[in-house]
Structure 1
Amino acid sequence: MTEEEAAPGAHDKRYRFRNKYLNIVRDALGDWIIYYQPAPRAGTRVIGSTGYFATARITSIRPLANSPEYSEASLEQYLELEEAVPFSITDLQFENKFYFEKSMVQSDGRMNSHTIQQQVRALSNEEYTKIERAGFRKNWINEEARVMAAPPYGFAEDPPESVERDRILTSRAFRDRVFRQLVGKAYNMRCAMTGISMQAPDGSFEIECAHIKPIEHFGPDSINNGMALFQSVHWMFDNGLISIGPDYKILKSSRCNEPKIGVLINESGKITLPKNSSHFPHPEFLRYHREHIFLP
């Protein structure tokens, strides 16, 4: 099943949809879905790349009392793909297009423009798997190899694919690797608070990727909930000694008594933001950190 992004905060834990799609959403209850950014209609402008960009799991569905034509799905385990996956890829050998969803192709081989604009579409297990593999690339292959090294099933018995999917997509190690790649790339491997990027001879960077709203507080693994930080700055941020204002100004706690800390932060007094504005820290996550983590 796929879903259209409902709002700028695609990490939202709730998704509202028209009841004409209710049977499709019910069939996916407890299973994973794919978010997508639809192709723009003629004469309209779209922000960001079209295609598939994240996955999450539906945990419950309820009717909306004030909107009888709509229902709402609750979502958990939101995770953005390493890279957006286009709706189709070109097979250079045969010089034709391959669509991840069969319903997108008309009998004459052209894209079905009506289908691609639908708010919710049903995906087969095979279609979801292909998008999933394309979206997570090497991280998925590496995680499968690690899991299969010590299978919990009987001798020579392959675990059900749905079980493997759950295990990988909910693995903290897997999610942390994907999150680090996404956030590190967004910030160009540069610490948001110091503006410094340090690379070792082996190619590694002295950088960690912090969750603004902690995962222990149900913060999502999304670029908008992440920042690239030096290890010591990350520690200070997680412990409430520094935070970020609504204007991206770096805030210092009164309990942070080390005067030399001020030398570390950007001269502007504000964080270094990603080049892509759609990757900026989400205001709600920043507000949560100020109100629940930061020590004034």
Structure 2
Amino acid sequence: MVKAIFYHKPDSAYKDVTGVQYHFPKMYLSRVLQTVGDWIIYYGPIPGMGSRYYSGLSQVIAVESDPDMPDHHYAFLSGYMDFDRPVGYVEQGGFEKKLVMPDGSINSGRSVQAVRLVEDREFAAIVAAGLSDPDEWPQRTDSIYEAHSQNAMEEPEQAPYVAGAYERPIISQTINRPFREAKFRQHVRKIYDRTCAFTGLRLINGGGRPEVEAAHIIPVERGGNDSVQNGIALSGTVHWMFDRGLLSLSDEYRILCSRQLNADVSHLLVSDMMARVPPEKRLRPHPHYLEWHRGNVFKQ
């Protein structure tokens, strides 16, 4: 097994779903096969931003041929998680030593490769840079590395990654469920500006923390990941109704109400029934997840 960088361009012709499946031509098959069971990092351009960036990590669980396109294959992925921020590939003098040369120049032959195998320490350094931002609004109960705070009256802080840390602790922390839940909540609250997508309400408690919750569209226990595209910011009551299939979303982000609701809840929702989603397409709920929710959770 070996770790790798997967190049991804939003709205490309490839049949990608971030964190679910990666579509690629046969020329990269031998490299991708080496990654099965190991972790990869997404890399590529981000609309509205110059340069190229590392944006998240996932685990490769299987590789299969594409039955509809000869000489193309899918890498199926699990455990995707977004980085706190896009990480520039030339930060800290460059993370991939075969890509960014000691004099700062770029290896053009390496840069055009859509799949690049990387060393464990390079991988760990990128993840460290991508998951080091503290949560501006941590939960009172968050404690990522300890079961309980030493002092129940004190609020534990998120412990950042240490740059240069060895790969194994990095992976053990990124698969830690409390850590992932905290990061998912941090990312969703930030991109929705702490505002409930269904009600339009932005409620802040006395301590300055938002009351909005981060909801998974496909629950983790049913195969969902921690991509922001599998998330949506919802207030507590609306979150409860969404998880129980009483509310859902169309691919156009219209709020759908189940006929099994025993009361009219439209007065709780935005008047035009259009969910307030982020302006950037790459941050909005993906149709892949919304279709699953409508087909497996929503009580029509």
TM above 0.5, one fold?
yes
Q: What is residue 275 of structure 2 aligned with on the other side?
A: 271
Shift of 1:165: 3.6
Greater share of helix: 1
Whichever residue aligns with residue 20 of structure 1, its letter is M
Task: Give, in whole Å, the separation in 2 of the partners of 1:29 and 1:161.
Answer: 21
Task: Give, in whole Å, the separation in 2 of the partners of 1:108 and 1:132.
Answer: 24
Task: Give, in whole Å, the separation in 2 of the partners of 1:47 and 1:27.
Answer: 30
Q: CA RMSD in A?
A: 2.7
Whichever residue aligns with residue 115 of structure 1, its letter is R
Change (3 A) 1:143 1:130: farther
Task: Give, in whole Å, the separation in 1 of the partners of 2:71 and 2:247.
Answer: 45
Counterpart check, 1:211 vs 2:213: no
Q: Is the 8 A contact 1:139 1:178 kept in 2?
A: no
Q: What is residue 34 of structure 2 aligned with on the other side?
A: 27
Aligned match of 1:36 in 43, 60, 63?
43
Task: Give, in whole Å, the separation in 2 of the partners of 1:118 and 1:48.
Answer: 23
Task: Give, in whole Å, the separation in 1 of the partners of 2:69 and 2:17.
Answer: 21
Change (3 A) 1:145 1:248: closer
Q: What is residue 152 of structure 1 aligned with on the other side?
A: none
Change (3 A) 1:48 1:218: farther
Shift of 1:69: 3.6
Q: Taking structure 2 as the reference length, what is the TM-score of the superposition?
A: 0.80
Q: Is the 8 A contact 2:19 2:227 kept in 1?
A: no
- Matching of residues 21-170 of structure 1 within 5 Å: 21-38=28-45, 47=47, 49=49, 50-64=52-66, 69-89=71-91, 98-106=93-101, 108-138=103-133, 145-146=145-146, 161=166, 163-170=168-175
Shift of 1:61: 2.8
Counterpart check, 1:248 vs 2:226: no
Q: What is residue 207 of structure 2 aligned with on the other side?
A: 202
Shift of 1:106: 3.8
Task: Give, in whole Å, the separation in 2 of the partners of 1:179 and 1:107.
Answer: 35
Q: What is residue 262 of structure 1 aligned with on the other side?
A: 266
Shift of 1:3: 0.3
Whichever residue aligns with residue 121 of structure 1, its letter is R
Change (3 A) 1:283 1:145: closer
Change (3 A) 1:253 1:5: same
Q: What is residue 5 of structure 2 aligned with on the other side?
A: 2
What secondary structure, in the 3-state scheme, does the structure 1 residue paired with 2:195 have? coil
Task: Give, in whole Å, the separation in 2 of the partners of 1:81 and 1:47.
Answer: 16
Counterpart check, 1:189 vs 2:189: no
Query: Number of residue pairs matched?
Result: 269
Q: Which consecutive residues of structure 2, in runs of 5 or more, have no partner in the other structure?
A: 136-141, 150-164
Task: Give, in whole Å, the separation in 1 of the partners of 2:133 and 2:251.
Answer: 36
Q: Is the 8 A contact 1:186 1:275 kept in 2?
A: no
Aligned match of 1:290 in 275, 294, 299?
294
Whichever residue aligns with residue 85 of structure 2, its letter is E
Q: In the TM superposition, what whole-angstrom CA distance separates every residue of 1:31-79 from its partner, at most 9, and x where no partner exists?
A: 11111015xxxxxxx6254210111111223445665644432221111
Shift of 1:178: 1.2
Change (3 A) 1:138 1:246: closer
Bigger CA radius of gyration: 1
Q: Taking structure 1 as the reference length, what is the TM-score of the superposition?
A: 0.81
